[in-house]
Amino acid sequence: MRFDLNRDGWICWPEREDLSLEFMRLLAAAQEGGSTVSECWLTASRIDFTDDDCWYDEWSKTADANNDRGFAAFAAGNLVTARSNWLRALNYYSAAAYPFDLAPDKQRAAVSAMRECAANYLRHRRPRGEVVSIPWLSEFALQGYYLPAHATKGPAPVVICIGEPGHRKEEYLFKLAPHAFERGISLLAVDVLGDETGLPFEQLMRHQKLESAIEPVMDYLVGRDDVDDGRIAILGDGWSSSFVARGIAYDPRFAAAVCDGGIWDLHEQAFLKRRMASAGDDTGWSPETSRILRNIRCPLLITVGGRGWLKTDRVTELADQLGVDRRDVTLKIFERAETAAAQGHIDNPTLANEFIFDWIASRLGTGCVSFDRQPQES
């Protein structure tokens, strides 16, 4: 197995940049409980990186081993170990389904196994989590996982963690949920991939604006008795579009938001403007985009990596445009020297999430939880 190690510490198989990125995500997940470093390297050592089927087979084997250990631990009454193994298994199944050109039947099998592991984890979590279905379109429901922070009779603050297209919500069970739980915040993990019982996602993308998914998610939470509807935040994970920013622009119910703030839309608009100008078509600033972005009234956090897809000076310039007449806009840039500097902070999600959830907790008025005083379900 030959790989390159660049100056930023990236492990790279030159012939497969896509799988290299996924492998880095898997390694980084180890510090959040989504993998183990040894299992990642052992699995990678068996993979022919030019063969998507080989990638699928080997990660599926590793996932199966963790899933089996989870059931064995559960049978022995060791729930902590069972939950840990199910979390790793669902992440490995997610990796198995990753290759874009993977046969549909194999992808469906991996996704089904991943969701089964997630359901087992939620079922035996304390407090117990829920698999929820949120109506969106007539032929496309959103699937989510609701994880209460602690057993309580009163309504609790909640953060919606929603993935950009291509990001699966199962990752948030180990990546984000512990950060929320430790700060007394419940979590709703959701993505825009649906429950795979209706329209294919690719067909949906051609006919539906993704930002329309935000309102029904908020409606669902507001309708729950255990949610403090005055303390609901949203975190858009992935940072490859501005659909979360567009979705919250005209919804005053959000108490805080962590997303790109519309920067991606601004960047794409500027790019198209330059292209059109070079072709002799003079296009100006879009009043609609400006109006949407300036209508985000809740406190806003924008985090970006110094090695991300946009240069930091460009991000700062665009963020300054968003900050006009605003009272609470925070821009955090993670530089190369501290890590968490890659796109989406995939090189060190822990560092970024600590900052993000401290910021969310400060806006929602929560703090660290003393676990020994929290009531637990039997």
* Tens of pLDDT, residues 285-316: 455 555 666 788 899 999 988 777 677 787 78
Can you name the CATH fold of 128-370?
A: Rossmann fold (3.40.50)
Edge-first strand listing for the sheet containing 227-237:
130-137, 140-147, 186-190, 156-163, 227-237, 256-258, 300-305, 329-334
Q: What is the model's pLDDT at position 372?
A: 40
**Cβ partners under 8 Å of residue 26, min gap 6:** 34, 35, 40, 91, 92, 95
The secondary structure element, H or E, covering residue 130 is: strand 130-137
Cα→Cα distances 309→98, 162, 241, 312, Å = 21, 20, 12, 9
Q: What is the model's pLDDT at position 60?
A: 98
Q: Which residue has the tokens 């609470």?
A: 328
- Residues linked to residue 258 through DSSP beta bridges, in sequence order: 235, 301
Three-class SS state of 242: coil
CATH code given to domain 8-124: 1.20.1440
Q: What is the model's pLDDT at position 216?
A: 95
> Are the C-beta atoms of residues 59 and 23 closer than 8 Å to each other?
no
Three-class SS state of 128: coil
Three-class SS state of 156: strand
- Residues linked to residue 130 through DSSP beta bridges, in sequence order: 146
Q: What is the model's pLDDT at position 219?
A: 97
pTM: 0.87
The secondary structure element, H or E, covering residue 330 is: strand 329-334
* Nearest residue to 242 via CA among 214, 220, 217, 215: 214
Q: What is the model's pLDDT at position 241?
A: 76
Q: What is the model's pLDDT at position 202?
A: 62
Residue 328 CA from chain centroid, whole number = 23
Q: Which residue has the tokens 């059931």?
A: 71
Q: Which residue has the tokens 């699937």?
A: 143
> Are the C-beta atoms of residues 180 and 159 closer than 8 Å to each other?
yes
- Domain spans of the chain, in order of start: 8-124, 128-370
> Are the C-beta atoms of residues 267 and 275 closer than 8 Å to each other?
no
Cα distance from N-terminal residue to C-terminal residue, the chain: 48
Q: How many CB atoms lie within 10 A of CB 315?
A: 23
Low-confidence ranges of the chain (pLDDT < 70): 1-11, 151-152, 195-208, 239-240, 267-293, 309, 321-327, 367-378
Q: What is the model's pLDDT at position 268?
A: 67
* Nearest residue to 245 via CA among 284, 210, 270: 210
pLDDT in tens, 31-54: 999 999 999 999 999 999 889 999
Annotate 191-227 with b (16+ C-beta within 10 A) or e (fewer): bbbbeeeebeeeebeeeeebbebbeebbebbeebeeb
d(CA 141, CA 193): 9
d(CA 246, CA 259): 10
d(CA 360, CA 356): 6
Q: What is the model's pLDDT at position 285?
A: 47
Angle at the Cα of 214 from the Cα atoms of 181 and 222, rounded to 5 degrees: 60
